[in-house]
Amino acid sequence: PTVECIGNITKSRHIGVLATTGTIKSESYSLEIHKLFPDIHVSGEACPIWVSLVENNEANSPGSDYFIRQHINNLMYKDHQIDTVILGCTHYPLLLRKIMLYIPDGISMVSQGEYVANALKDYLLRHPDIDKKCTRKGNRIFYTTEAEERFTESASIFLNENIKVRKISLE
């Protein structure tokens, strides 16, 4: 859904992608964007340490500033015409407040969550038979193969609420 919208957001037709090393190396954003918008220039910057900043609850620490500023500067150096930046990792919106401190004025930030949620909402409106099968109330239980405490801590950062976690084995 993010890729489908990007052509309507960028004016300069130059966008940046901040993502994990794997995502940048795969060129998945570039490939998908060029299928729909062959005129858009895509520059990517791998920010692998950003995931650790979020998962270790360091997103708002003074130390995170250095890494956030460094990767934004690297991206902007690659293409000074970038007017839109995609946050290409589910962890990165939790860094948005810090990112906005260092991103140049006038650049649009695109966080996937909003676009994915809107696309799902639109899909369910167009497919009421599927929408009727969706549960509106209930309990959420998260299952993990890792340590429950670690999973609970990480999940609470993302969800900002207490959760029920059960450890399972995949034997």
- The distance in angstroms from the start CA to the end CA of the chain is 36
pLDDT digits (tens, 9 = 90+) for 56-113: 888 888 889 999 999 999 999 999 999 999 999 888 988 999 999 999 999 999 987 7
Identify whether the C-beta of residue 163 lies closer than 8 Å to the C-beta of residue 142.
yes
Query: Is it the case that residue 131 has pLDDT exceeding 90?
Result: no
pLDDT digits (tens, 9 = 90+) for 34-68: 999 999 999 999 999 999 998 888 888 888 999 99
The boundaries of every CATH 3.40.50.1860 domain in the chain are 2-116
Q: What is the pTM of this model?
A: 0.79
Angle at 66 between CA 63 and CA 70, to 5 degrees: 155
What is the predicted pLDDT for the residue at 91?
86
Q: Which residues pair with 16 in a beta bridge?
A: 43, 85
Beta strand 84-87 pairing with 108-111 = parallel
CATH code given to domain 2-116: 3.40.50.1860
What is the predicted pLDDT for the residue at 115?
67
Cα dihedral 73, 77, 79, 84 in deg (nearest 10) = 10
Identify whether the C-beta of residue 79 lies closer than 8 Å to the C-beta of residue 43.
yes
Residue 33 to residues 7, 72, 142: CA-CA distances in angstroms? 8, 21, 34
Per-residue exposure over 99-121, b if at least 16 CB sit within 10 Å of its own CB, e if not: beeebeeebebbbbeebeeeeee
Average pLDDT (4-17) is: 94
Beta strand 164-167 pairing with 84-87 = unpaired
Mean pLDDT of the chain: 88
